[in-house]
Amino acid sequence: MVDSSPEAVTPLTEESAIASLQQEDLSLRYYAAWWLGKFRIRTKAAVNALIVALADEDHRTELGDYPLRRNAARALGKLGDRSAIPSLIQSLECSDFYVREAAAQSLEMLGTTAAIPALKLLLKDGVEATKQVTGRPHAVEPCEAVIEALGSLGATETVPLIEPFLNQPIVKVQYAALRALYQLTQNDAYGQRLVNALNGNDVKLRRVALTDLGAIGYLPAAEAIAKCAVESSFKLIALKGLLAHLASEANLSESAIEIMSLMDSLL
C-alpha cells in the first residue's frame, strides 16, 4: 500500500520527479509537483511537465477539486519561468478556489501585467466575492491573493475596484486592500492604518499586518514593527522588507542604518 504522506515517499531526483508527474499513482504526481517547486527545479522539462499538470483531469476529489493543479500552480510561481504565464492566467478560471488562489499568487511572483485583466474579472462582483461559500471553508473568490497581486503588479486603474474591500468585514482582505492601495497610490493613510493594525488584539492578524508592511516597504513603520508584540522572526522579515525598498546599498542611507539597528536589537 502506498502512503500518500510526503515523508513516506522515496526521495526524488529531477528526472524521477518529472517522470512521477506522468505516473498512474496520483499521490506520487501530487508529491512530485510540490517537490519540483520546493527544490526550485527550473529546467524546461520541469516547467513543461508542470504546465501539463495545470490542465490535469485525473486527480479530482468528490467535491470536484483539482489537488494536482493546485500544487502545479504553486510550483510554477516559484520557478520563475515566464512560459507558464498563459496557462496560469487560464487557471484563474478554474472551478477550484485553491487553484485560482495559487494561480493569482504565482502570477504575482512572476510579475506579469498580462494577468491584470483576468485578475480584475475575479473581483467583478465587488465585495460579494468575500462571502463564504456554503459548506466550504473559503469565500467565493480568493480576494486576498487577487488584491495583493493587483497591488504588486501596479494595476493603478484598479484603485476604485479595490477601495470597497476596505469596508467589508474580513480583516485579512481589508489588510490586503490597504497594502495594494498603498502600493498603487503611495498614500500614507493606507500605510498608517496597517501600522495601527500592529496594536490589534489577534496575534495572527498582527503577523499579517507585519508581513504587509514589509511587502510594501513602509518606512515610517520601522519603530512600530520593532515594538510589536509578535515573535522576533516576523519582525526581522518585515524590517528586511523595509530595507529591501531602499535604493542603493553601496552608500548606506541613514534610514538603512536605522533599520539595521532595529534588526540588530531583535537578535
Partner 1 sequence: MVVLQLIQAVEQASEPAQLVAAVQALVAVKDKSAISTLIAVLGYNNPTAAIAAVAGLIELGTDSVQPLMEQLDEYNYGARAYSIRALAAIGDPHALELFLESAATDFAPSVRRSAAKGLGTLHWQQLDPEQVYPAWQKAMQTLLSISSDGDWSIRYAAIVGLQALANIPELAAQIKIHFDLQIQTESDREVRSRIIWAQQVLSQV
Q: What angle do CA 93, 205, 151 make, to 5 degrees?
A: 45
Candidate residues 46, 236, 238, 262; the one interacting with partner 1 per rule CB under 8 A: 236
Site membership for partner 1, residue 78 (CB under 8 A): no
Cβ atoms of residues 113 and 125 within 8 Å: no
Site membership for partner 1, residue 238 (CB under 8 A): no
Nearest-angstrom CA–CA distance, 48 and 117:
24
Q: Which residues contact 216 (CB under 8 A, 6 or more apart)?
A: 151, 179, 182, 183, 191, 194, 241, 245
Candidate residues 140, 200, 230, 255; the one interacting with partner 1 per rule CB under 8 A: 230
Nearest-angstrom CA–CA distance, 219 and 214:
9
Strand partners, 132: 139
Q: Which stretch binds partner 1 (CB under 8 A): 52-60, 85-93, 120-128, 257-265?
A: 257-265
Candidate residues 3, 57, 254, 264; the one interacting with partner 1 per rule CB under 8 A: 264
The residue count for binding partner 1 (CB under 8 A) is 18
Site membership for partner 1, residue 256 (CB under 8 A): yes
Q: Which residue, 52 or 244, is less far from partner 1 as judged by CB?
A: 244
Q: What is the DSSP letter of 122?
A: H
Candidate residues 121, 133, 189, 257; the one interacting with partner 1 per rule CB under 8 A: 257
The helices-and-strands tally (H runs, E runs) of the chain is 15, 0
Site membership for partner 1, residue 57 (CB under 8 A): no
CB of 192 to partner 1, least distance (A): 23
Q: What is the DSSP letter of 121?
A: H
CB of 186 to partner 1, least distance (A): 22
Interacting residues toward partner 1 by CB under 8 A: 229-233, 236, 240, 243-244, 249-250, 252, 256-257, 260, 263-264, 267
